[in-house]
Amino acid sequence: MAFEGLADRLQSTIQKIRGKGKINEADVKEMMREVRLALLEADVNFKVVKEFVKKVSERAVGQEVMKSLTPGQQVIKVVKEELTELMGGEQSKIAVANRPPTVIMMVGLQGAGKTTTTGKLANLLRKKYNRNPMLVAADIYRPAAIKQLETLGKQLSMPVFSLGDQVSPVEIAKQAIAKAKEDHNDYVLIDTAGRLHVDEALMDELKQIKELSSPDEIFLVVDAMTGQDAVNVAQSFNEQLGLTGVVLTKLDGDTRGGAALSIRSVTQTPIKFVGLGEKLDALEAFHPERMASRILGMGDVLSLIEKAQANVDEEKAKELEQKMRTASFTLDDFLEQLGQVKTMGPLDELLKMMPGANKMKGLNNLKIDDKQITHVEAIIQSMTKDEKIHPETINANRRKRIAKGSGTSVPEVNRLLKQFEEMKKMMKQMTGTQQKGKKKGGFK
């Protein structure tokens, strides 16, 4: 996860000041020294750090903090607000053209994740915004790139416009837009060529595509793991092309987060999306405020709720609630639940979005690997239909067989059965209280 070191350091600095009834300038100075170090260690651009510390210090020794009843809390609020501002303030939206199609040019250096991100973005546009995108293969110098985009298109069942590698990218873009109009595709995502370095020939070509296709968005895809290099790349692309947004990829592997914190400030271009993995659904809208909240250990409940909503089927949730009420919840239902949680992403990542999670010692080292869930699944799958409904009938002999059948151990089987039994007991108690409450006229 990104920002690990930064989050740790900022949180321990904040801890010192949180409950203080009074703070003076020396306290603020001391805190700012730590904040400055934390940001520099996270590979945040030097100028950005200087500016940030200056802003926070001014506000922290100003009226709004010193005169407040809870100055410690107030300083934390200032840090959070400035951190949010640093990353772009309010979340920026994706453009919609007055007359479709909306054209998005995807640019970036080779290996940054441009082609993958083009597929991910198209997937997000369809899933979240109900759009009908077309992908355009305009990287003619790397034949593999055309193939790669076509494969992504197949996986997503989405049209990919390609004219091979003998037609100029400008011509490809032109024809693609005309075709999208004809076919009623409301978004056109142009995957342009990448190079190893920023060079003139590349920029000239991109400028030509820009001129001809009048894109509504020009998104630069950069690799977060390259830190300050990503910031420099963003700066030169922005100078030459005028970017409307940045997509920061591989944030899943970037533990420092320097690029995420510097890009907006250095280039004045907002980060619009972040890539968090190789799979096609691993792209998220970037929310500066939520990210600031996560860095400061205040949790990111909103993202957690959104994830749950996107992954949990409403009908199924209702059905489940009914089963819990009538205490007819079986191990099969439990299995299904596990499946749903799994689709939300790695469990340890989910846990980290909980408020206060960063303060729980050990959570950072905790790897709830999917293997554990897989074991539980295997155990349940090795039971008979009857056993899943009446697990209390499973005797010692059967437990041994189930352990063997699922490639686990008897203690693991015992643990699961015990946990399930307790869960059911709890459900019974809960439904009991609810029914009692109902008889008295229910709760308000």
Cα angle for residues 227, 95, 222 (degrees, 5° grid) = 15
Whichever of 291 and 402 has its CB closer to ligand GDP, that residue is: 291
Binding site for ligand GDP (CB under 6 A): 108, 110-116, 194, 249-250, 252-253, 275-278, 282
Task: From 365, 406, 367, select the one nearest 384 (Cα to Cα).
Answer: 406
Query: Is 111 annotated to bind ligand?
Result: yes
Q: How far is the CB of 2 from ligand GDP (least distance, A)?
A: 11
Q: How far is the CB of 434 from ligand GDP (least distance, A)?
A: 44
Whichever of 252 and 412 has its CB closer to ligand GDP, that residue is: 252
Distance CA 92, CA 286 (A): 8
Per the listing, tokens 């501002």 go with: 85
Whichever of 250 and 290 has its CB closer to ligand GDP, that residue is: 250
Distance CA 140, CA 80 (A): 45
C-alpha dihedral over 375, 380, 384, 385, to 10 degrees? Answer: -160
Query: Is 108 annotated to bind ligand?
Result: yes
Q: How far is the CB of 212 from ligand GDP (least distance, A)?
A: 22
Whichever of 192 and 382 has its CB closer to ligand GDP, that residue is: 192
Whichever of 153 and 277 has its CB closer to ligand GDP, that residue is: 277
Whichever of 277 and 297 has its CB closer to ligand GDP, that residue is: 277
Residues 185 and 159: beta-carbon distance below 8 Å? yes
Q: How far is the CB of 348 from ligand GDP (least distance, A)?
A: 16
Query: Is 88 annotated to bind ligand?
Result: no
Q: How far is the CB of 298 from ligand GDP (least distance, A)?
A: 25
Maximum Cα–Cα distance for the chain, whole Å? 78
Name the region of 149 (left: φ>0; alpha: ψ -120 to 50; beta: rest). Answer: alpha
Query: Is 109 annotated to bind ligand?
Result: yes
Q: How far is the CB of 220 from ligand GDP (least distance, A)?
A: 11
Whichever of 10 and 221 has its CB closer to ligand GDP, that residue is: 221
Query: Is 326 annotated to bind ligand?
Result: no
- DSSP labels, 117-177: HHHHHHHHHHHHH---EEEEE---S-HHHHHHHHHHHHHHT--EE-BTBSS-HHHHHHHHH
Residue nearest to ligand GDP (CB): 275
- Residue 70 phi, psi (nearest 5): -125, 75
Query: Is 325 annotated to bind ligand?
Result: no
Which one-letter amino acid corresponds to residue 58?
Answer: E
Query: Is 119 annotated to bind ligand?
Result: no
Q: How far is the CB of 281 from ligand GDP (least distance, A)?
A: 11
Whichever of 72 and 215 has its CB closer to ligand GDP, that residue is: 215
Query: Is 115 annotated to bind ligand?
Result: yes
Helices within 1-142 (DSSP H only)? 4-18, 25-41, 46-60, 63-66, 71-86, 114-129
Residues 139 and 305: beta-carbon distance below 8 Å? no
Query: Is 252 annotated to bind ligand?
Result: yes
Q: How far is the CB of 139 from ligand GDP (least distance, A)?
A: 7
Task: From 141, 193, 135, select the one nearest 164 (Cα to Cα).
Answer: 141
| Beta partners for residue 91, in sequence order | none
Whichever of 113 and 227 has its CB closer to ligand GDP, that residue is: 113
Query: Is 374 annotated to bind ligand?
Result: no
What Cα–Cα distance (Å) separates residue 363 from each residue in 276, 307, 359, 379? 20, 21, 8, 27
Helices within 184-286 (DSSP H only)? 200-213, 228-241, 258-267
Query: Is 299 annotated to bind ligand?
Result: no
Q: How far is the CB of 148 from ligand GDP (least distance, A)?
A: 6
- Cite the annotated binding site by residue number: 108-115, 191-195, 249-252
- Cite the annotated binding site for GTP by residue number: 108-115, 191-195, 249-252
